[in-house]
Every structure is written in structure tokens, then in C-alpha cells.
Structure 1
Amino acid sequence: MISYEKIRNRLYEEFIKPTDKEKNFIGVEIEIPIINLEKEAVDFSVVHKVTDQFRKQFGDFKAEGIDYEGNVFSMENNKTEDIVCYDCSYNNIEFAMGREKDLFSINDRFTEYYKFTKECFEEYNHTLTGMGINPYRKYNKNVPIPSERYLMLYHHLKSTDDYENVPMRFHEYPEYGMFSSASQVQLDVAKEDLVKTINVFSKIEPIKALLFSNSVLIDENDNITCFRDILWEYSTHGVNPHNIGMYNVEFEDINDLQAYLESLNIYCVMRDGAYINFPSMNLFEYFGTDSVEGEVYCGGEYKKISVKPSIDDIDYLRPFKFINLTFRGTVEFRSVCTQPIKDSMSVAAFHLGLKNRLNELDELISNDDVIYHKGYTASELRKLLIKEEIPSFIDKNDICKLSKDIVDLASEGLKDRGIGEEIFLKPLYERIKNRTNPGKEIIKLTNNNISIEEIIEDYGNI
């Protein structure tokens, strides 16, 4: 057994200590669905051809991930630290931009990569689009990339039968990682600001749902504008609700935050380069056992294996919170869907600007009575505001004003930086003015008999 103190110290070293040195960098990750315009499954041979074309065009990118069939699924530019890869399956491409001090540098490189990649796909009658759920998912082969990590992840998501005694229901989309896409932002946050950052940003998750929702499960649940939330919560990642979604507590100090980390579940580790899955369990339960029975992928099938816990297994702790601490010493904001491509930088701009106006944001949301002090928690409000219709107890004019006040704070925070990044917030002002978001627009357009092909094209333009 591994002692409580040793586990606690390792969690601190992994997630909190790295924030001691704030450097004010920005990281942006944008996942984007790939579409076969023939209304057939994405042709993986086309994906591999486009990957080759990308590597020839951008010679500084070197293969970093190669699947079991010899295909490249991840490329990295060691100069910029940009990574272009496929996320979960070859139906999703991800542009993970290397850290920068400003958004313009990130946007310039992302635009260059995206335009080239999209043009390559269009040579084969495929395309890319800025939608949080692949609108052609029903045509696709929803199979994971044949690699250690993605086979492990899909095996975990399919393992609902292992949780018969868990008081929750599971949805029917264990392959959701292969058709859902997010826009994530990582910011350096100093240790002394960690608790306040998490507390304050958690309270604006309902407003973020109103501004950014863009994940409509067309023809199935098309009154929900951000179905991604549901896909995460009611999957095996949500067996312990502390591993996903919002915090639902307000932290007093770092000790409180540390205690929350200790409440998380672990469901995989690595041994000799191979992932081992086991039923999701609390960290202390895991480290309190002599061995855990798991499964390892070997020779095309899963085999039973016993694993002895090691303190280094904390390296494989994988929470998927809306706001995550990372081993890089950053705070990762991950509740936002992929946006229409031309609006991609709005996500980073919003979070970066508000980070620089944290005290004012705290005061604004602490004194709010538009959505708060009406009997609902932040988590409950988020669930209500991912629906197409705003609930009747919230005044639509007032919530638009609150949203604008928050975006105004983000704009002020960016203006303080003096380089014009506030221009990236323009789409958010337009959404507030028109009382809409990308998900609501998808619903409205499809209800007005606008073809999904037109929406795909519009949301994919840059």
C-alpha cells in the first residue's frame, strides 16, 4: 500500500507546484470534424494522403505518432511546438498550437494550416467544418485509431457493463469521441490565483453555454445546443462525477483544491509501453490495494492482467473537468465546442481577456441576480442554458445584458495588452445582439429547410 502522504505529495507535485512559475503563455487546441461530401464514411486512405501532403508542404513537421498499421496520426513542429494530429479516430483532425504570447501568432499559423488542409481534403470531395458534432456521423466508420491510447480510451468507454451497481444511466454513444469536437484553451495561471480562477470561471459556465454552444445531435436531440456536455457526463468518464463537468463546490484555498484532486478516479495505467484498463476507482482505493485486475490489448484482443499500483501511476490520472489543472502548470478550459472556423479565436480571446479582469468578473458575477439567487446552482443553470429555449424564470433582456457585460470585461482585459486582440471577440457581440449561438443557428436553419450541406460549408469557411 502507498501512504496517504505520498499520494498527496505526488498530486501536489503533478498539478499544483508547476503553477509556481507563471509565464503568461497561451495554448489553443481546435478539433475539427472531417466530412465526406459523398455522404459516405470518411475515406481513411484520403486522410493518410492528406497527412502526407501536409508533411511535404510543412517540412518542419515530423511524425510523432504512428499507428499499428504504419500510418501517421500525429505530427509535431519542434520549432513552434505546433501539433497536427487525429483525435480518437481518423474522422477528427486537431490543430494543437504551440504556446505563444499573443493570439495573432496562433491565428496566423492556424489559418495557414487549416486552409491548406481543407483544400487538400476538397481534392477528394471531403471537407472540414466548424461544428461540435460531426453532422455526417451516421455515415462514418466509428472506429478508434489503432494505437495504444485510443484503443484503451474506446475500450474504457464501451465498458458500461462493468458498472451495473453504479446509480447512473449511460447514453448509447460510447464512440462519441469519434464524432464530437472541442475548442480548448490553456492559460498560465499563478499559484496564488488558481483557486479564484477556478471559482470565478466556474460561475460563468452557464453564460459560456449561451455564447458558445455548437453541438447539435441533428435528427435525434435537436433541441439541445451543446450535446457534448451530455456525452461526457453520461459516459464511463462520469462514473465519478468529480472527473467530469463542473466542480459544484467553491474552494476556500489550495488545500480545498488538493482535496478535490484526491477525490478523483483513475481507470488506466501503462506498463512496458502498453495501456492497462480497469474499472474506474478512487485514487485511494486504487493505491490501497496490492493489485488490480485489468485488461491489456495484445495481438488484436484484450487479455486479463494483474497490475501492482505504483505512485508513478498518477501520471495517468485523466480528469476531464470543464476547467482542468495540467502537468504543464496551466489551467485548461475545455467546456467549449468547436466554433465556426472563422470564429475560432473567440474562445481563447474570451478566456484570456477575463483572466486579466478576474477581480472585476468576480464582483460582477457575485452580485448577479439575473441567473443566480433563483434556486439553481451553476451546474443546473448550465444544463438549462444548453437547451434551445431560455427558461422562463430568466429575463432574456437581462441575460443578454449580463452576457455583454462579461464580454465587455474580456474586451477590456485584452485592450490592456495593447495589441488589438479584442477584435476576436466580435462574433460574441454579434451573437448577443442576435440572441443566438452557433448551435441555435443550426437548429433554426434546419427548421427553415436550409440544407445541412449549406451549413457545413458556412461553418467551414475561414
Structure 2
Amino acid sequence: MIDEEMIRDKLYEEFIKPTNQKKNFIGVEIEIPIINLDKKAVDFDVVHKITDKFQKQYPDFQDNGIDYDGNVFAIKNPKTDDIVCYDCSYNNIEFAMGREKDLFSINDRFGEYYSFVKESFEEYNHTLTGMGINPYRKYNEYDPIPSERYLMLYHHLKSYNNYEDIPMHFHEFPEYGMFSSASQVQLDVYRDDLVKTINVFSKIEPIKALLFSNSVLIDENKHVTCFRDALWEYSTHGVNPHNIGMYDVDFKDLNDLQSYLESLNIYCVMRDGAYINFQSMNVLDYFSKDYVCGEIYSNGEYRKMEVKPLINDIKYLRPFKFINLTFRGTVEFRSVCTQPIKDSMSVAAFHLGLKDKLDELDELISNDEVIYHKGYTASELRKLLIQDELPAFVDRDGLCKLSKDIVDLASVGLEERGIGEEIFLKPLYGRIRNHVNPGKNIITLLNNNTNIEDVIEEYGKLGNI
């Protein structure tokens, strides 16, 4: 048994202490579905050929992850810290751009990599597109990348039948990480601003849903513009609702935030380079035990194994909140779907522009009576605003004005940086003016009998600034 004070100290050291330094970098990660235009499963041999071709074109990229079959699933450029990898399976590619001071540098390198990879895939009648759920998911094979982490993760998600005495239902898509894609942003947030950043950004998650939703579960649920939310919430990651989704509380100070960290669940640790899975449990409960019974993957199968909790296991505490604290001292915003490729930088621009406008943003929300102060929490509002039809109590024009006021505030924040990054917000104004988002647009197009192939092509275009 480990003393609770030691656990609290370790949580502080891992999650909060790294924010003591004042920095101002931006990190962007963009996950993108791979599509076989022959309406067959993505050909993984083609994927491996493209990886090899990319390394020949960009020799600074070095192997950063090799699966059990000897295939490279991650490559990294040590000069820029850019990583090109496959996320969960070889059906998704991810461009994790090394941190930068400005969005133009990130956009230039992302555009170059994306163009090369997309053109290379098209030689094999495959392509890439900017959609949060793979529109050809029904054709794909769902095998996790044969690596320690991804085998563990899929095993955890498949274990939902083992949770019999909890008051929640699970969806039947444990492979959802292999067909859903996100656009994530990491910003350096100083410790003194941490609580306010989480509190204020949490309140605008409904507006973000309205602006950025782009995850339609085609053929199964064409009325929800951001089905990704449900895929996380009703999976084994959501056994403890504190591990996913929004913060439905206002933190008073860092002590409150610390208490929230203590309420999270842990579901895996590593020993001797191998992951051990166990049923998701509260982190304090985990450390109160002498041993925990888990499963370890060995020689193609799982076997039971007891593990003794160690204080350094805190580093395996991995919540998937919409707003996450990371071990790097950054705040990660992860509720936004992958966007149409030409609009990719709008996500980072939106968050970056608002980062230093928290007081003004809070005042906007506090004074709003269009959706806020109507008896709904921000979490409930987000659930309502990811539907393709607005609820009756919402004034459509008022909601557009509120959305525009928030984007205007982000634009001011970017203008004050003096670099010109506000140009990346331009797509959001079009969405507000036309009362659409990418997900709603997909639903409308499909209802009007537009071919999904036309949507795939349009959402995959890179475009120009």
C-alpha cells in the first residue's frame, strides 16, 4: 500500500509542476483516415510501401516505432520533432507536428507531407480525406498495429463485457480508434492560468461542437454530426466518466484540480517493457492494493498476471478528457474531429487566439442567454448541438451571433500576435454565416443523394491560405 500523500505529490509532480515554466509553443496533431477507393480493405502492404517511400523522400525521418512483424509504424525527424505515424491501426495516418512558435511553420510542413503522402497513395487507388469517421470503414479490416501499446489498448476496449455491475451501457465498436480521427492542439499554459483555462474552455465546448463537428457514422446514424463523442463515452474509457469528455465542475484553485486528478481511473501499467491490463479502477484504489490481477500479452495470447503497484505507475494514468493535462506541461485540446484538410489549421488558430482572452471569453459566456443559463450544463448543451437539428429553445440568429463573437475574439487574440495567423479562422466565418459545420454538410449532401466519393474528394483537398 502506498501512502496517499505520496500519491498526491506524484500527481502534482507529473501533471501540474511541468506548467511552472512560462513558454508559448504550439503543437498540432492531425489524424487522417486512409481510404481504398476500390471499396476494399486498406492494403497494408501499400501503407508500408508509402512509409518507405516517405523516408526516402525525407531522409531526416528516422524509425521511431517498429511493430512485431518488422514494419515501421512511426518515423520522426529529430531536427523538427515532426512525427508521421499510424494511429491504432494501419487504417489511420497521423501527422504530429513538432512544436513551433507560429502556425505558418506548422502549416507549411504539414501541407508538404500531406501532399506527398496523398499523391503516393493515389498511385495505388487509395487516398486520404479530412473526415472524423472513415466513410469506408465498413470495408476495412480492424487489426490493431501489432505493437505493445496498440495491442494493449484494443484489448482494453474489447473487455467491455467484463464490466457487469456498473450503471452504463457500452457501444459495440471497440475498434473505433481504428476508424475515427481527431485534430488535437497542444498549448503551453502557465500554472497560474491553468484553472481558468480549463474552466473557461470547458464552457465553450458546445460552441466548438457547432463549429467543428465532422464525425458522421454513415449508414448507421446520420443525425449526429459528432458521433466521436459517443464512441469515447460509451467505451471502457468511459467506465469512470471523469476520464473522458468534459469537466462538469468549475475548479476553484489548483487544489480542486488536484482532487480531480485523484478521481481518475487507471487501467494499465508496464513491467519489463510489457503492458499489463486490468479492470479500470480509481487511481487511489489501485495504490491501496498490495497486488492487482491483470493480463499480459505473451506469445500471441493473454495470460493472468499479478502486479504490485509502484508509485511511478502514475505515468500510465491516461485520461482522455476534452481538455487534458499532459506530462509535458501542456494543455491538450482533443474534442475536435479531423477537419476538411484545407481547414486543418482552423482548430489550432481558434484555441491559440482564445488562450490569452480568457477574461473576455468568460464574460461573453456569463452574459449569454441564447444557450447558457437555460437550465442546461455545458456538457448537456454539447450533446444537443451535435444533432443535425437545433433544439427548439435555441434562437438560431442569436446562436450565430454568439459563435461569431467568440471567433471574433479569437481573431483579435491572433491579430495581437502580429503574425497574420487570423487568416486561418476564415473557414469558421463561412460556417457561421451558412449555419453549417462539416458534419452537418455531409448529412445534407448525402440526403440530397450526393455520392460519398465526391465528399471524400472535396474534404481531402489541401487548398491554399
Equivalent residue, structure 1, for 2:163: 163
Partner of 2:452: 452
Aligned position for 2:283: 283
Give the letter for the 1:199 counterpart: N
Superposition pairs of residues 238-277 of structure 1, within 5 angstroms: 238-277=238-277
SS of 1:30's equivalent in the other structure is: strand
Whole-angstrom distance in 2 between the partners of 1:390 and 1:201: 22
1:71 and 1:38 mapped to 2: Cα distance? 24
> In structure 1, how many angstroms separate the alpha carbons of the residues matched to 2:392 and 2:290?
54
Partner of 1:189: 189
- Matched residue of 1:149: which SS? helix
Q: Give 1:227's aligned residue.
A: 227
What stretches of structure 1 of length at least 5 have no aligned partner?
none
CA deviation profile, 1:324-367 (whole Å, cap 9, x unmatched): 00000000000000000000000000000000211110111111
Q: How does 1:42-441 map to 2 (within 5 A)?
A: 42-441=42-441
**In structure 2, how many angstroms separate the alpha carbons of the residues matched to 1:296 and 1:366?**
49
The CA distance in 1 between the partners of 2:22 and 2:396, in whole Å, is 39
Q: Counterpart in 2 of 1:26? A: 26
Moved more, 332-341 or 354-363: 354-363
Distance in 2 (CA, whole Å) between partners of 1:368 and 1:143 is 47
Contact 1:144 1:154 in 2 (8 A): yes
The whole-number CA distance in structure 2 between the counterparts of 1:27 and 1:303 is 38
Q: Which runs of 4+ in 1 moved over 4 A?
A: none
What is the letter of the counterpart of residue 179 of structure 1?
A: F
Letter in 1 for 2:390: I
Structure 2's unaligned 5+ residue stretches are: none
Q: Distance in 1 between matches of 2:216 and 2:64?
A: 33
Distance, in Å, in 2 between the alignment partners of 1:329 and 1:193 is 12
Distance 1:129 1:78 in 2: 27
Partners in 1 of 2:59 and 2:104 — Cα distance? 22
Q: 2-side partners of 1:252 and 1:61: how far apart?
A: 44
Contact 1:264 1:319 in 2 (8 A): yes
Asked if the contact 1:84/1:93 (under 8 Å) is kept, the reply is yes
Cα deviation for residue 22 of structure 1 reads 2.1
1:28 and 1:185 in contact (8 A); partners too: yes
Report the AA paired with residue 256 of structure 2.
D
Structure 2: distance between partners of 1:364 and 1:193: 18
C-alpha distance in 2 between matches for 1:69 and 1:361: 50
SS at match of 2:267: strand
Report SS of the residue matched to 2:116: helix
- Alpha-carbon deviation of 1:373? 1.0
Q: For residues 458 and 330 of structure 2, what CA distance do their matches in structure 1 show?
A: 33
**TM-score of the superposed pair, with normalisation by structure 1:** 1.00
State the match for 2:13 in structure 1: 13
RMSD: 0.4
- What CA deviation, in whole Å up to 9, does each residue of 1:188-221 have, x standing for no partner? 0010000000000000000000000000001101
Q: Distance in 2 between matches of 1:22 and 1:385?
A: 35
- Between 221-230 and 362-371, report the one with greater CA deviation: 362-371
Aligned length: 462
Partner amino acid for 2:367? N
Tell me how far apart the structure 2 counterparts of residues 117 and 99 of structure 1 sit (CA, whole Å).
Answer: 21
CA deviation profile, 1:412-453 (whole Å, cap 9, x unmatched): 000000010000000000000000000000000001111000
Code of the aligned partner of 1:66: I
Which whole-Å CA distance do the structure 2 matches of 1:283 and 1:220 have between them? 36
Contact kept in structure 2, 1:356 and 1:414, CA below 8 Å: no
> Residue 37 in 1 paired to residue 34 in 2?
no
Q: Secondary structure at the match of 2:53?
A: helix
Q: 1:290-343 deviations in whole A, cap 9, x for unaligned?
A: 000000000000010000000000010010000000000000000000000000
Partner deviation per Cα, 1:242-295 (whole Å, 9 max, x = no partner)? 000001000000000000000000000000000000000001110000000000
CA distance in 2, matches of 1:15, 1:58: 35
Equivalent AA in structure 1 for residue 288 of structure 2: G
Q: TM-score, normalised by structure 2?
A: 0.99
CA–CA distance in structure 1, aligned partners of residues 360 and 190 of structure 2? 18
- Name the CA distance, whole Å, in 2 between partners of 1:384 and 1:22: 37
Work out the CA distance in 1 between the residues paired with 2:260 and 2:22: 22
Q: What secondary structure does 2:427 align onto?
A: helix
| Corresponding residue SS for 2:169 | coil
**SS of residue matched to 2:124:** coil
- Aligned to 1:217, the other structure's residue is in SS state coil
Give the counterpart letter for 1:418 in structure 2.
Answer: G
Distance in 1 (alpha carbons) for counterparts of 2:189 and 2:126: 39
